[in-house]
């Protein structure tokens, strides 16, 4: 039935992109989760990763990635031609935790100076090491 769904989507929205979460049927891009591919991919991809260990807010999950790690991941993914989807889970009141805010502000400061190296770039075909 996945192919029928893909055909229906393309019938109603011909420009719609479909990820590989239906077993790759009709996939326009890959979505590796919680890991970065070791090299340039043969197709477009988006790394789906959490800022800590959880896809949702958990008050006891304080295992946050540092701003340095988030920036390293961003550069690594961009250098391979990918997109970085970084999940930040808000509280049940819709508030982004202060620790998440601080990390994102640091990344934002780095991007304000170095964003030209990320935005609109294409794959360099090498890995960041």
**Are 79 and 111 part of one and the same domain?**
yes
Whole-prediction pTM? 0.85
pLDDT digits (tens, 9 = 90+) for 18-52: 999 888 788 889 999 999 999 888 888 999 999 99
Are both 62 and 124 inside the same structural domain? yes
Whether residues 86 and 122 fall in one domain: yes
CA distance 82 to 37: 10
Half-sphere exposure of 106 (CA within 13 A, CB side): 13
- pLDDT value at position 123? 77
102 and 120 co-located in one domain: yes
pLDDT tens readout for residues 67-126: 999 999 999 999 999 999 999 999 999 999 999 999 999 999 999 999 998 998 877 654
What is the extent of the structural domain holding 58?
32-129
Please state the three-class secondary structure of 36-80 as a single string: CCCCCCCCCEEEEEECCCCCCCCCCCCCCCCHHHHHHHHHHHHHC
Clarify whether residues 65 and 103 are in a common domain: yes
Distances (CA, A) of 104 to 107, 110, 129: 5, 10, 23
In this structure, the answer to whether residues 22 and 39 fall within a common structural domain is: no
Q: Do 41 and 73 fall within a single domain?
A: yes
The total of structural domains in the chain comes to 2
- Distance from C-alpha of 94 to C-alpha of 28, rounded to nearest angstrom: 32
Say yes or no: 86 and 41 in one domain: yes
- 57 shares its domain with 89: yes
């Amino acid at each position: 039935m996945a192919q029928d769904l893909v055909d229906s989507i393309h019938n109603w929205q011909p420009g719609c992109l479909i990820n590989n979460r239906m077993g790759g049927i009709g996939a326009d891009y890959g979505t590796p989760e919680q890991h970065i591919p070791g090299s340039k991919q043969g197709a477009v991809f988006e790394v789906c990763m959490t800022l800590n260990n959880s896809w949702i807010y958990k008050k006891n999950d304080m295992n946050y990635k540092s701003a340095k790690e988030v920036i390293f991941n961003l550069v690594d993914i961009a250098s391979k031609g990918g997109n970085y989807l970084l999940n930040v889970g808000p509280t049940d009141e819709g508030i982004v935790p202060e620790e998440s805010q601080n990390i994102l502000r640091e990344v934002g400061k780095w991007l304000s100076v170095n964003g030209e190296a990320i935005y609109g770039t294409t794959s360099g075909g090498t890995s960041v090491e």
